[in-house]
Structure 1
Amino acid sequence: MARSEPGTRRLEPQRHGIASFVMPEFYAPFPLERNPHLREASRRMWEWIGAMGLAPTEKAQARMRATGADLSGSYVWPRADLDLLATGLRWLALTFRIDDQIDEDDQDDRLAERAAVIADLRGILHGHPPVVGSVVTRALTQLWQETAKGRAEDWQRTFIGHFEAWLDSYSTEARLKTARRPPQLHEYLEWRRYSVGMPWLWDLGELTLPTLVPETIRECRPMRELRHAAALHIALVNDVYSVNRELLVGYPCNAVLIIQQQHSRSPQEAVDAVADQVADQVRVFQCARTALERELDKQDVSVGSRTAATAYAETCAANIRGQIAWHSQVRRYDIDDFRRASGSEPLASYPDDLLLRPSEGAVRETTL
């Protein structure tokens, strides 16, 4: 069974309400690190959420509390100073809300509106004003301007690329849902390493380092493999924890569901197969980490650049371990809020202020 961290809510062993299975023990042979500035950074995050109007209702606030964006960030950036951690927590709070509204709250499958939102959010990163104003687009505009100010162009380019890949995953999933074609596991994993969001979070983490990772190292093959393996490890763990909630909202892009449906596996067999994939990612990560050391020798980088690259890899390893701890402690993937909802009560957690209907605001013409 998966081990609980000190002071956490035990989720194992137990039977889950819809897909019945016992939680496996996820392989993650790395140290657990958590940022000591969590309490103050969390206070700042909630102050910003209130100032931006991101959680204006009791239900929205409850969803944000259940998500534990602040706790997640303490594991994502375990060595960040207070200011950077507080900035990171704002990014997480905002993007968790975007994820909820696009993947969970939109029960009407407003695909054109989704595409318009994604185009709007992408445009903000390139300095364009949003076509449709909302609390989300205003928050992203402010946050990106603050984060990008004074940053190196190659770092901004990398961050934007990873953030756009995260946004684009919603379009990919929408196309498949429209075509009523579930993805094959191998193609799902190709975009899942971006849809989990970790690559751009680690780009933010680079800002904790005295020296940024050189672009030749950041984009070399061992570093890409290391980053992809760590992201997939976290994504697959997430798929197991989130499967029952995603079953309830009819969200098909989940490795457990894909394996179960396409290979005629029981829920337990599918979960165990995903756990095996998780272990595979550890082995890929460790091989890539060794190859990265050879690449650093080959490129003959400076001491500072080597230290930055090594610290980046260490942070990814800590994230592999830390995100298991986060999943085991938060209530983000519980289904109690759905069970409590009456037949007339909408399931949506947030006000419908992101996926605006055409009559409610200009919708940018775009194609999924």
Structure 2
Amino acid sequence: MREELIVPKCHYPWPTVNSPIANAFDDEEKDWYDNDYTFISEEGIRRCKPQFLSRVATYMNPTCDSIERMRPCARMMIYITLFDDYFGMTPAKELEVIADRVYEVMMGEDPREDEIGILRQMAAARKEWLANGMPQFWIERISINFYEFIMYGIAEEIPFKQAENRTYPLLAHYLSFRRYSIGMMPYGDLTDPAINYALPVHVYNHPIMQRCRELLCLLIAVQNDFVSLKKEIEIDHECLNIIFVLRNQYKLSYQEACTEAMRIHNAHAQELDHLHNNLPDFGEFQEAAYDHVYHIKLHVSGCANWYYNSGTSRYEHKAFIIPQYGKEGDDAIIPHSIFVKE
């Protein structure tokens, strides 16, 4: 009989803000699935619709009350998530070709009629961002970060996913690629269209600002690992979860690994809060830099709010789509002996 496991919830030393347009794209996203995600099976699309992935954009950008500015962000939240779900088992050489094409479309090329529909969503988002006044340097920024999400994140996970025997990375290695594969480097760029202000390049590239973005990625990676643990604990080949990594590297119980993962998470949250309140001198851009990191913090608490309060079915049994190189039997069985408690 499995020992009962208490999985902690994530909390933050800053407030959670609720979006005034939290559910605004619930109907639109169904049309997006039906029109542009037909490379996914009908069953896969059926699984996607109750996940409310568009709400991630609104929950994580809760100060934005503009449907027009948030629409391309909602598109991206869906296509970045389903890109990972669908191409997460794709061989690295094939994935590199896909990454190059994604970059071309995000930067300005229109997809051909015979190309996969997810590219149409990327092109539509790019055109909407430009129509809403986002500069080309920002388009290049998010395009590069999406490319790195694929090549430094998804591609680095593939050897572990394809290994015949379960193989765990060391914690340092895991965090080095997980901060890319969680997708928050490009998603963090959505702060700019959400608040209708593109952070200047020299401010954005400052090491402190980049560390804040890295902390965003690490915090949401641990959030995600806690939430997905209930599903992943029953997958025989699953190794890419910080709980599993800690348990293997330090010979911990599941409960001890949860405690250590939360300690790491809380240290990162404290660091982000400290950096926000002690930013370097950015001169005339001081207020903009402070506001940018403030919204990074809202991304973190907003994502937790979505996990716990949006009603998403994403982490239920048979909620994920089957990957391009996956099979139906990859689905997990969620045991009744696991439960979530604050």
TM-score (structure 2 length as normaliser): 0.81
Following the alignment from structure 2 to structure 1, what is the Cα–Cα distance between the partners of residues 83 and 4? 29
Letter in 1 for 2:173: E
Q: Is the 8 A contact 1:30 1:320 kept in 2?
A: no
- Is structure 2 residue 2 aligned with structure 1 residue 22? no
* The one of 243, 253, 264 aligned to 1:266: 253
* The one of 298, 305, 323 aligned to 1:325: 305
- Is structure 2 residue 100 aligned with structure 1 residue 91? no
Give the aligned length.
Answer: 316
Following the alignment from structure 1 to structure 2, what is the Cα–Cα distance between the partners of residues 321 and 199? 16
Segments of structure 2 that go 5 or more residues without pairing to the other structure are 321-326, 332-342
Segments of structure 1 that go 5 or more residues without pairing to the other structure are 1-16, 339-344, 350-368
- How much has 1:347 moved relative to structure 2? 4.8
Q: Is the 8 A contact 1:50 1:56 kept in 2?
A: no
TM-score (structure 1 length as normaliser): 0.76
SS in 1 for 2:6: coil
Look up the match of 1:82: 67
Look up the match of 1:42: 26
Look up the match of 1:116: 97
Look up the match of 1:283: 270
Q: Is the 8 A contact 1:121 1:137 kept in 2?
A: yes
Assess, with a 3 A threshold, how the Cα gap between structure 1 residues 310 and 68 changes in structure 2: closer, same or farther.
same
**Alignment RMSD (CA, Å):** 2.9
> 1:113-192 alignment to 2 at 5 Å?
113-127=94-108, 133-148=115-130, 151-168=134-151, 169-177=153-161, 182-192=168-178
Look up the match of 2:207: 221
Q: Deviations over 1:217-261 (max 9, x none)?
A: 111122112221122111101111112433427332221111111
Letter in 2 for 1:195: S
Q: Deviations over 1:135-179 (max 9, x none)?
A: 223332333344346532331232122212211211111245557
- Is structure 2 residue 296 aligned with structure 1 residue 316? yes
Q: Is the 8 A contact 2:26 2:54 kept in 1?
A: yes
Report which stretch shifted further, 55-64 or 313-322: 55-64
Q: Is the 8 A contact 2:161 2:237 kept in 1?
A: no
Following the alignment from structure 1 to structure 2, what is the Cα–Cα distance between the partners of residues 321 and 234? 9
- Is structure 2 residue 192 aligned with structure 1 residue 212? no
Q: Is the 8 A contact 1:123 1:130 kept in 2?
A: no
SS in 1 for 2:62: coil
Report which stretch shifted further, 178-187 or 77-86: 178-187
Report which stretch shifted further, 258-267 or 187-196: 187-196
Q: Is the 8 A contact 1:53 1:135 kept in 2?
A: yes
Following the alignment from structure 1 to structure 2, what is the Cα–Cα distance between the partners of residues 316 and 125? 23
Look up the match of 1:59: 43
Following the alignment from structure 2 to structure 1, what is the Cα–Cα distance between the partners of residues 185 and 161? 25
Q: Percent identity?
A: 19
Q: Deviations over 1:22-78 (max 9, x none)?
A: 121423122111221233333223233333245875522332134321221221111
